[in-house]
Amino acid sequence: MEQRYSKTHEKPLGDGAQASVWLFHDSILDRPVAIKHFEGVPGIDCEPERERLNREAKLMARLNHPNIPQVYDLISRPDSVQIVFQYIEGESLADRIRRDERLSPPDAAYYFSLLASAIAFLHAKGSVHRDIKPANILIGRDRASVWIVDLGIALITGLDPLTEIHDRPIGTKKYMSPEQLAGERLSGSSDVYSLGLSLYEAVTGRFPKVPFELHCRNTGDPNLDNLVARCLKQNPEERISAADLSLGLNSIKPVPEIPSPELSLFLRNSFLAALKEIRDVINADMGEILRERAPTKDAMLDHILAATELSALMTGYLNVFRLMRVSERAPDCMYVFTGLDNAMNTLARDILLPLEKHAISAKRSRKTGRKKAKPVHDVQRTLKRVLTGFRKLLKKIDGLTNILSASLIGYPFDGDGDKPNEY
């Protein structure tokens, strides 16, 4: 670890009872990273507990969403576990609330629609965050981006929850749902409850009275009041889903006011960053296929999973830019949005469809007992077609990247006046 990652600050970015977060520099990729150091967790020196944390980190690394920091690396030692994350430059919502800088209802709706989208994505992957609070919500320095952080205690469906080790609920008591406080089995509704508490506090600067009755609703926007009330239902089954919350908030929010040239520059750089990540994932998936000489059934399932995750990644970026209303605020960037949407069609038609057809035909062969029967699409032919699809997709992504890069040449300088924004 010391050879690759070097600490750049003597004070932690964040400190908790069981983990601390530090800013490091990755010497190989020459970039800042955040490293979460787990220590003091009961049983951390025992193999079962370390293995549990390792499995959670590996599963979290597969969560590709624009509003969830990416997991880069996992370092496991006999007495500790470190998870290497994407470093986010910004401040927490808790810091803003402490300075009495409340969010206006429109701005709160904007940020929390993106957060709810990320939480919905997390739930769709079978995970529950369990510790949503203003301190775990980061607002980027550009004031147009937001992230949900600290997934270190996320409960992954199918894994034994860490509460069984600690014999008490994990999270921040003030923001826990009633069922989490009671130590009951959790679902995504628990996260929605915590998100509703955070949303109300962000707008009003104070914690809501629970149960959230009609006389408590004073965010300044009736629609926002109603959505918060649906988040804070005592019965988990009566709460709004994270996906519906995102749509509801999106219907009442404008994009935060950013001068038009700055917004256009921010979007161009954001698109470039998104295209780079998509390109890296495509190259990794193509590399896996090219390295295989005799693909197995499990390998084919891995390819389907990888293509599905790529689709989720691209859909996530499209949703984020759609929520930012690119067509209204930066119409000169719409060609990139349209190009990315067309790339999604290529992914569905030329990659996902052949893989799914192969899986279906193989399943039918097994059901009928005709083990020697050739599937409609044999493995080699399917993978050859998939590779062709990946090359088409890569060509589209590279084309958009080249156009974007060319459009940034000679672009106005950023806010500090020293140099253009770079990605």
User: Is 418 a residue of the active site?
Assistant: no
Distance CA 293, CA 37 (A): 39
| CA 282 to each of CA 122, 188, 190: distance values in angstroms, whole numbers, following the listed order | 22, 30, 35
Distance between alpha carbon 318 and the CA centroid of its chain, in Å?
A: 13
Q: Which residues contact 147 (CB under 8 A, 6 or more apart)?
A: 67, 68, 69, 88, 90, 118, 137, 138, 140
CA dihedral (238, 241, 247, 251) in degrees, to 10, reads 30
Q: Which of 30, 79, 107, 131 is catalytic?
A: 131
Six-digit token string for 94: 């808790």
Angle (CA) 315 354 299, round 5°: 90
Q: Which residues contact 269 (CB under 8 A, 6 or more apart)?
A: 408, 421, 422, 423
Q: Residues for the chain: how many in total?
A: 423
Distance CA 301, CA 309 (A): 12
DSSP string, 10-53: SS-SEE-SSEEEEEEEETTTTEEEEEEEE-S-TTTTSHHHHHHH
* Cβ–Cβ < 8 Å for 255, 324: yes
Distance CA 236, CA 13 (A): 34
| CA 142 to each of CA 230, 257, 266, 323, 324: distance values in angstroms, whole numbers, following the listed order | 31, 11, 8, 16, 14
Q: Which residues of 332-361 are buried (b: 16+ CB within 10 A; e: fewer)?
A: ebeebbebbeebbebbeebbbebbeebbeb
DSSP string, 327-369: HHH-GGGHHHHHHHHHHHHHHIIIIIHHHHHHHHHHHHHHHHT
CA nearest to 164, candidates 76, 82, 61, 41: 41
DSSP 65: B
Catalytic residues: 131
